[in-house]
């Protein structure tokens, strides 16, 4: 059976021996493990996904096998590309850093599948080192965390400029994103995107808002959307 598989691959213009196939798959698995460990230990917040880390180990080997089987058959290559596209859109990674990890693993698997073992190792070492350093140093991340502030106010209160002096005192920047009515129109809900000053007292800030909005609900939380873009 194995002779049939490898002879069929050779008929497509690529001769693959048992030894070459085994070496390519083993190297892809080892490099996938290295990429997975880089992904895990470069995350300072320890928010890495165990399922995603597992996928990074297997992905280079799977890509290497696909490359060895496709050979120079263009029609088959496009079919495999379509299958990968369906998987990609069926299961989206969490953020842009995860996407870069997927392409990193696929590139290493591609190099291993084509037999460029030294090139695959070199790419893993260089790109992996840069990836690790950038993530550990927090490259591109903002120093002040972006938060979402939701304030409930009575319907007879003019929200325009009502909290401007407090925002100036406690925040670096603020933007009113949404205004909507609630509780049968008797209340307004204001949604702000805000960046607090590093030395700002968040409790004092909330207390001062409570004095103005009649002690109605106030919610301040992390902006998960902004975090995903980092």
At 19, list the tokens.
């030894």
Query: Got the DSSP string for 97-137?
Result: HHHHHHHHHHHHHHHHHTT-HHHHHHHHHHHHHHHHHHHHT
What are the pLDDT digits (tens) for 7-53?
544 454 455 678 888 999 999 999 999 999 999 998 877 778 888 88
> Which segments of the chain does DSSP mark as H helices, in order?
2-11, 18-41, 50-70, 74-90, 96-113, 117-136, 164-170, 202-212, 224-229
pTM for the full predicted model: 0.61
> At 218, which helix (H) or strand (E)?
strand 218-222
> What sign has the CA pseudo-torsion 109, 97, 40, 121?
positive
| Percentage, residues of the chain above pLDDT 70 | 77
Contact 209, 135 (CB under 8 A): no
Q: Residues 186, 192, 197, CA angle at the centre, nearest 5°?
A: 135
Q: Which of 48-57, 92-101, 161-170 has the lowest mean pLDDT?
A: 92-101
The alpha carbon dihedral of 119, 120, 122, 126 has a sign of positive
Taking CA atoms, 109 is separated from 43, 67, 98, 103, 119, in Å, by 23, 9, 17, 10, 11
Domain boundaries, given as residue ranges, for the chain: 2-136, 146-229
pLDDT at residue 102, rounded to an integer: 86
Contact by Cβ (8 Å): 91, 139: no
Tokens for 137?
């140093």
Q: What is the mean pLDDT of residues 58-70?
A: 85
Residue 1 has pLDDT above 60, yes or no: no
Residue 228 banded pLDDT, cuts 50, 70, 90: very low
Tokens read off for 46: 């320890």
Quick count: other Cβ atoms within 10 Å of Cβ 60? 33
pLDDT of residue 211: 92
pLDDT per residue as tens digits for the range 172-221 = 889 999 999 988 888 999 999 999 888 889 999 999 999 999 899 999 98
CATH of domain 146-229: 3.30.70.60
| pLDDT of amino acid 66 | 82
């Amino acid at each position: 059976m194995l002779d049939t598989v490898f002879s069929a691959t050779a008929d497509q213009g690529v001769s693959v021996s048992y030894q070459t196939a085994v070496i390519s798959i083993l190297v892809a698995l080892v490099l996938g493990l290295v990429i997975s460990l880089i992904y895990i230990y470069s995350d300072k917040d320890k928010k890495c996904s165990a399922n995603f880390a597992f996928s990074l180990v297997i992905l280079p080997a799977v890509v290497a096998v696909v490359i060895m089987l496709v050979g120079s058959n263009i029609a088959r290559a496009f079919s495999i590309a379509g299958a990968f596209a369906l998987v990609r859109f069926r299961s989206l990674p969490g953020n842009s850093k995860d996407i870069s990890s997927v392409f990193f693993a696929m590139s290493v698997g591609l190099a291993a599948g084509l037999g460029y073992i030294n090139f695959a190792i070199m790419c893993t070492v260089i790109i992996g080192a840069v990836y690790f350093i950038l993530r550990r140093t927090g490259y591109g991340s903002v120093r002040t965390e972006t938060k979402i502030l939701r304030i409930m106010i009575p319907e007879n209160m003019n929200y325009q400029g009502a909290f401007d002096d407090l925002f100036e005192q406690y925040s670096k920047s603020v933007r009113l994103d949404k205004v909507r009515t609630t509780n049968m129109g008797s209340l307004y809900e204001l949604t702000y995107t805000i960046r607090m000053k590093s030395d700002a007292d968040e409790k004092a800030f909330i207390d001062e808002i409570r004095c103005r909005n009649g002690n109605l609900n106030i919610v301040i939380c992390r902006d998960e959307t902004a975090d995903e873009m980092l």
